[in-house]
Structure 1
Amino acid sequence: MAMNEARFDMFDDGISAVDPQHVQGDMTVGPNLRSQASLGEPDFSTLDEPIKDTILRDLRAVGRKFYHVLYPKEKKSLLKEWDLWGPLVLCTFMAMILQGSSDTANSSNDGGPEFAEVFVIVWIGSMVVTLNSKLLGGNISFFQSVCVLGYCLLPTAIALIICRIILIVEQNFILFILRFIIAMIGFVWATYASMAFLGDSQPSGKKALAVYPIFLFYFIISWLVISHTK
């Protein structure tokens, strides 16, 4: 008992010897730590924001990305603030138009494979492009690749709409050539826009190797547009 009491007294003396100013803590965060903690975070809180404002803000962001695809001058918008709304909308839209384009006279064809082809091509193509970029030493993530490749489908989607309008009239060789030219314009435009966004993420001496899978990706999509019939 004497030994235990001695230990307790030593422990008690140690507590009483501590300066109370050292015991008290300050839960406030300094300006440097606060700026580091909020790095990359928005300057405003969206928790109390109305749903309408949130939807409108997202729609404006998607519209700005579509504008940057049509006029690919600013190179970091799709990579810095990536999202999957644009790719989802374009993939669904193109898949709905392309479905049932093979042989509509055959009642057993419900257009299912064509609807799934667009989604499979986009996701598998994005994986191939991202893997190729990583092997070449690039610094782009999978979702950034999907965002860029998906948004840059806009020219091919516009070409698909125009070709669909041309298909309303009776087809001939001249109209086929016209649809071919329109699809090729969409193909070149989409490839150029995607390279404008992805070019800086590739090593300077290996950009030519990074172009090939992107070229092949949009070529397959454009071929689906050209082969689309009523």
Structure 2
Amino acid sequence: LEKEIAAKDQRAHEQQKFYPDLSGEIAGAVSKRSEPNLDRDFDTLDEPVWVTVKRDLNTVGAKFGLVLFPTQGNQSLLRNWDLWGPLFICVFISLLLHSSEGKMGPHFTEVFTLTFFGACIVTLNIKLLGGTISFFQSLCVLGYCLLPPGAAAVLCKVLTFASEQSSLLFVIRLLVTSVGFVWATYASMAFLAGAQPPRRKALAIYPIFLFYFVISWMIISHSH
């Protein structure tokens, strides 16, 4: 028995020579990253709050970059979904379109409710058609893709404050809003197209098209 135990210890010692211990401090590796990696999970238990918030903001900014420069087949926005970016954009657009007392236009709660429940209805349609993504993944994509209409709303506000209302100004606002609408629709389909059944893509695209069209119509109608 003693000989067998000694032989096992000898084999274990020889294995350690070929397979060294590779364990290390994960938190230290996380703190040295300068750019967010959307394909990795983060351990935030042993780091300062500001480091966590800063990394989350960088991650949201990286996802905004994916929307501004969408590419077919890039699924990072689906794999690493969050609702912070969509919430920020919805609140931002609602504040821009909010009408003060005595002026015609929607209120903050009306714009926010329409945007939120509109995205939920589009997501429910995707699921009913057999989409292979989760409910919150779809909400994440639809919310982040509101960035181009949000930028169009800002430009329309700037144009409104810069000069008086005229036909030329309306045409420019219409062009800016149309670009934001097309960009949002194209970006959302770049992320969601692969999750739709091939024979039902048209049925999935139409509600997305209608969702961004309604948001863009509110921007062109009430951004003055």
> How does the TM-score come out when normalised to structure 2?
0.77
Aligned counterparts of 1:86 and 1:189: Cα–Cα separation in 2 = 17
Match of 1:163 among 146, 156, 180: 156
| Residue ranges of structure 1 left out of the alignment (5+ in a row) | 1-40
Deviation per CA, 1:159-197: give whole Å up to 9, x if none.
Answer: 001111110111100110110011010000000000111
- Please say which of residues 71-80 and 57-66 is displaced more in the overlay: 71-80
Match of 2:49 among 31, 44, 51: 51
Please give the residue correspondences for 1:1-230 in structure 2 after superposition, counting only pairs within 5 Å: 45-73=43-71, 75-100=74-99, 106=102, 113-168=106-161, 169-230=163-224
TM-superposed deviation, 1:227? 0.4
Aligned counterparts of 2:107 and 2:166: Cα–Cα separation in 1 = 24
Q: Is the 8 A contact 2:145 2:184 kept in 1?
A: yes
TM-superposed deviation, 1:45? 3.1
TM-superposed deviation, 1:118? 2.5
- Please say which of residues 71-80 and 185-194 is displaced more in the overlay: 71-80
TM-superposed deviation, 1:132? 1.3
The one-letter amino acid of 1:125's match is G
TM-superposed deviation, 1:139? 1.3
Aligned counterparts of 1:127 and 1:140: Cα–Cα separation in 2 = 14
Aligned counterparts of 1:180 and 1:130: Cα–Cα separation in 2 = 28
- Please say which of residues 184-193 and 68-77 is displaced more in the overlay: 68-77
Aligned counterparts of 2:96 and 2:167: Cα–Cα separation in 1 = 22
> How does the TM-score come out when normalised to structure 1?
0.75
Over alpha carbons, which structure has the higher Rg?
1
SS of residue paired to 1:167 = helix
The one-letter amino acid of 1:138's match is G
Q: Is the 8 A contact 1:126 1:142 kept in 2?
A: no
The one-letter amino acid of 2:59's match is A
Q: Percent identity?
A: 56
